[in-house]
Structure 1
Amino acid sequence: MWVFYLISLPLTTGMVLMTLRYFAGPHVPRYVLFTVGYTWFCSLSIIILVPADIWDTMSSHHTNRGISFFWSWSYWSTFLLTWAVVPLIQGFEDAGDFTVSERLKTSVHVNLLFYLIVGSIGLFGLILLIMMHKTWKGGLLGFAMACSNTFGLVTGAFLLGFGLSEIPKTIWINADWTTRQKVLSHKIAKMAVKLDDAHQELSNAIVVAQATSKQMSKRDPLWLYMNVIDEMIAQMFREDPSFKPQGGQLGENDMDYDTDQKSMAALRRHLRSASEEYQRYKSEYVTYVLEALELEDTIQNYERRNSTGWEYNSSIRPARTGKLGSLLDTLEFFWRCILRKQVAKCLAVILGTMSVAILFAEATLLPSVDLSLFSILIKSVGGQEVFVQPSDVRGIFRPTDADSSISYIPFVSTLMQPLPMCILLKLL
């Protein structure tokens, strides 16, 4: 069991860290990074807990208290993070107020309003259920658990289905250079329009903030807040000197900011939101453009392979020098121009085969005959721990022991398919 933990724990932690590094913005606070990382780790802990739980069920035929504790830790941590901690932090970071207490107050107010609406809908549904079933005697806690499980299963069915179809199909399509060029051309054109709109929105926000600053007297009690906004704009220009505001397209409500604390908070929030949106679209646009240039280099290197001596020449980075430069160029040529496409197609076929096997296993739950390929593989290895746990990481297992802390996991394999692929997709 310890061997599996030594493999699964670093793998799960590495997946979380790689995802954080890929998606995190440049100025995200550390407590936000820690909260998001911990949330993702709790969600991905199923990779560790499911095989351990099933192995415990198969070997000892009784529920291990340690496994039960970790299941409870994962569930309640995810529950609290989903419904309390993460929304509170999200509202706190989204607020434009100038003090911690005011930002926290705004976050609590927004979340309470949301939960009031959701709670009213739930209460209406509960009243309707009682009216339709006058003899209903079910407990409120049981009803809440049933609603929670139903929501989780339905949401999982829609979201995790992405791993069954889109990932194999996307990998297969992207393996073809011509098709990928067309897709990138479409994405670049689409992203260019979004980037232009985001640039205009940020320009308008900056013009409005500068106009408001000019109209405000330095003796104004709110000048301290306006000074924070001015420093925020100056920081934007220092980080991106190439950005040039383009005003002149302001709407009727763009200058509708009064000189009070609430309006200053709204202005700061609008400015920060526009800046983040612009930076996000700019990053995506640059990524697509660099990928398109790299793909064009790959096609040209393949077509001119005889004249270049089967060495990869890039137009977007300096040429390699030194004793190993020629060798590295040759290895890069074989990877980018020959092996990469074949590896992608093989990976797409493997994932597609797994998707078909998963769908077939879930579609044949009712028959008494076990037709699940993954269940057959797990049972065929018998009591060999080394083979049971890796087989179950992607599998569907139907434990027969009533003492197992899990009864059936219909979406485990659907979840497991895309997660380990993040490392491979990063390489491809």
Structure 2
Amino acid sequence: MSGAALGVEIILVFFLALFLLHRYGDFRRQQRMVLFGTLLAWYLCFLIVFILPLDVSTTIYRQCEKDQASPTISPALSNHTPNTSATPTKRRCNKPWSFIPEGIMPVFWRVVYWTSQCLTWLLLPFMQSYARSGGFSITGKIKTALIENAIYYGTYLLIFGSLLIYVAVHPEWHLSWYELQTIGITAANTWGLFLLVLLLGYGLVEIPRSYWNASRHGHLLAKTYFKAAKLMTEKADAEENLEDVMEEVRKVSEAVKYNHPLRRSVDTILRKCPLEYQEKMGRNMDDYEDFDDKQNSYPTEKSLVKLHKQVIYAVQRHNRTRVQWQILLQQAIHLEDVAKNETSLTHQFVHSFPSSEPTGRFSRYVYTPTVEWYWECLLKRWFFRLLSVVLTLFSVAVVWSECTFFSTRPVLSLFAVFIQLAERDYNYLYIEMACFITIFFLCTCVYSTVFRIRVFNYYYLASHHQTDAYSLQFSGMLFCRLTPPCA
């Protein structure tokens, strides 16, 4: 089993990241570069949850071997027989089932650390600008990405250069290249720690509260109505914005004829439009009319690049709100059915609109209307309440442990006490499970907050393949900045 557990978990985490990316991204429409960068960023961050417990158990085993190699005096002998000659006692060290050979983990963590740093500070910002660009060629998109990142990083370099000049002219301060590298690493880790504490604080409160509110059907239905009203306004605004952009595209398409030099760019824009608008514009276009060089009403290439960018954003927003509206309607109908069936005397769940999807054997023989009634109207509520209480206790334990981690004698951190109890008997499976549950809960609080964040309509992770390339890569940048402090 030497290193086998590490290899298996690396493969499983890859498929987990791939599954989540498939849920939020669109493999058929989005660029391969965007999908690869986001997948790599998510993959490196998720690795911590599963690999760190193996590293802890292996470290405990190696520490036991070191203690066994160096003779120690038994506490019982030193307390009860101080005048007799103490004999060294050795403890038997059992190798853990998930033992990782020496030299692998330091290389592994270096690869994870430096890859995540390169992604978050260099590659992902460039790929983000490249994917958001409205250019019609690879060269144009690269040029736009370089200009945007030059402006972005130029501000940082200006501030850093000013501080560096101040340090250089100061007579008492002398910095070497190693010290400058250390300052850069410390600054990046500090920013990651600040982000980690901010997201963790929100997740520790929001996750238990969300499950408690999910057990309150009346509150959940009222919240769904509020979301529906808000989403309806956003959907109407998206449709109006799409109509305005399509009208602009129609004017450009009618002005730029088939033999105009910019016609290929216009055709590229048309292919990004919805099918109904493409057919409407195709019927109104006269391909046999030549363009006149003397007219000055033709658009420029710069204006077409801007229009292309507007079309991509408008179509993505329209599709997202349309899909979310359908999903939210289904949720509202289901919650209304739950409210109606709570007073049912037959204890059988009745749907207002029967599902058009074919029912399988599980739904037909196991998940019957009676079982569905007991689950939806009775058991689900208490299950969410119990889960909320358990998660609340976990949150309190995390806060207590964070406030008392500096106390080593006595050990007040609850998680440290559990690990030390398991370490005495070298129960590596218990050690790994305790570490995994603790790290999994902490990372769930942090990572779930990243998926919940919404910055207007620029950054928004929407499920059912409705997340745009900009939001996917922005989430990848956040995950990469969280990787070093989590590790």
**How high is the TM-score relative to the length of structure 2?**
0.72
CA deviation after TM superposition for structure 1 residue 295, in Å: 1.0
For the aligned residue pairs, the C-alpha RMSD in angstroms reads: 3.0
**Is the 8 Å Cα contact of residues 92 and 106 (structure 1) preserved in structure 2?**
yes
Cross-structure match for 1:270: 310
1:16 aligns with 2:17: yes
Instruction: Choose between structure 1 and 2 for higher RCO, CA contacts under 8 A separated by at least 6 residues.
Output: 2
In the TM superposition, what whole-angstrom CA distance separates every residue of 1:85-125 from its partner, at most 9, and x where no partner exists? 22222212111111122112211221122111222223334
Note closer, same or farther for the CA distance 1:231–1:4 as it changes in structure 2 (3 Å cut).
Answer: closer
Unaligned runs of 5+ in 2: 67-100, 280-296, 451-462, 464-487
CA deviation after TM superposition for structure 1 residue 6, in Å: 7.2
Note closer, same or farther for the CA distance 1:199–1:147 as it changes in structure 2 (3 Å cut).
Answer: same
Q: Distance in 1 between matches of 2:33 and 2:276?
A: 23
Unaligned runs of 5+ in 1: 240-256, 397-411
**Is the 8 Å Cα contact of residues 17 and 39 (structure 2) preserved in structure 1?**
yes
Note closer, same or farther for the CA distance 1:187–1:226 as it changes in structure 2 (3 Å cut).
Answer: same
**Is the 8 Å Cα contact of residues 39 and 78 (structure 1) preserved in structure 2?**
yes
Report the residue type matching 1:24 in the other structure: G
Cross-structure match for 1:253: none
Q: Distance in 2 between matches of 1:200 and 1:272?
A: 15
**Is the 8 Å Cα contact of residues 361 and 373 (structure 1) preserved in structure 2?**
yes
Alignment of 1:354-369 (within 5 A): 354-368=394-408, 369=410
Cross-structure match for 2:478: none
**Is the 8 Å Cα contact of residues 168 and 349 (structure 1) preserved in structure 2?**
yes
In the alignment of these two chains, the number of paired residues is: 388
Q: Distance in 1 between matches of 2:380 and 2:5?
A: 30
In the TM superposition, what whole-angstrom CA distance separates every residue of 1:395-419 from its partner, at most 9, and x where no partner exists? 38xxxxxxxxxxxxxxx86224566
Q: Distance in 1 between matches of 2:437 and 2:365?
A: 41
Q: Distance in 1 between matches of 2:32 and 2:379?
A: 40
In the TM superposition, what whole-angstrom CA distance separates every residue of 1:242-286 from its partner, at most 9, and x where no partner exists? xxxxxxxxxxxxxxx962222111111111111111222222222
Answer with 67-76 or 327-336: which moved more.
327-336
Cross-structure match for 1:301: 341
Report the residue type matching 2:14 in the other structure: T
Q: Distance in 2 between matches of 1:176 and 1:83?
A: 43
**How high is the TM-score relative to the length of structure 1?**
0.81
**Is the 8 Å Cα contact of residues 198 and 278 (structure 1) preserved in structure 2?**
yes
1:45 aligns with 2:88: no
CA deviation after TM superposition for structure 1 residue 15, in Å: 3.4
Q: Distance in 2 between matches of 1:420 and 1:97?
A: 34
Cross-structure match for 1:106: 144
Cross-structure match for 1:178: 218
1:90 aligns with 2:128: yes
Note closer, same or farther for the CA distance 1:297–1:11 as it changes in structure 2 (3 Å cut).
Answer: farther
Report the residue type matching 1:366 in the other structure: F
1:58 aligns with 2:56: no
Note closer, same or farther for the CA distance 1:237–1:79 as it changes in structure 2 (3 Å cut).
Answer: same
Rg larger in structure: 2
Which of 132, 150, 164 aligns to 2:204? It is 164
Q: Distance in 1 between matches of 2:168 and 2:392?
A: 46
Q: Distance in 1 between matches of 2:349 and 2:229?
A: 31
**Is the 8 Å Cα contact of residues 8 and 47 (structure 1) preserved in structure 2?**
no
Secondary structure in 2 matching 1:190: helix
Q: Distance in 1 between matches of 2:359 and 2:118?
A: 54
Alignment of 1:105-144 (within 5 A): 105-127=143-165, 135-138=172-175, 139-144=179-184
**Is the 8 Å Cα contact of residues 271 and 278 (structure 2) preserved in structure 1?**
no
Secondary structure in 1 matching 2:272: helix
Note closer, same or farther for the CA distance 1:120–1:180 as it changes in structure 2 (3 Å cut).
Answer: same
Q: Distance in 1 between matches of 2:116 and 2:180?
A: 22
Secondary structure in 1 matching 2:438: coil
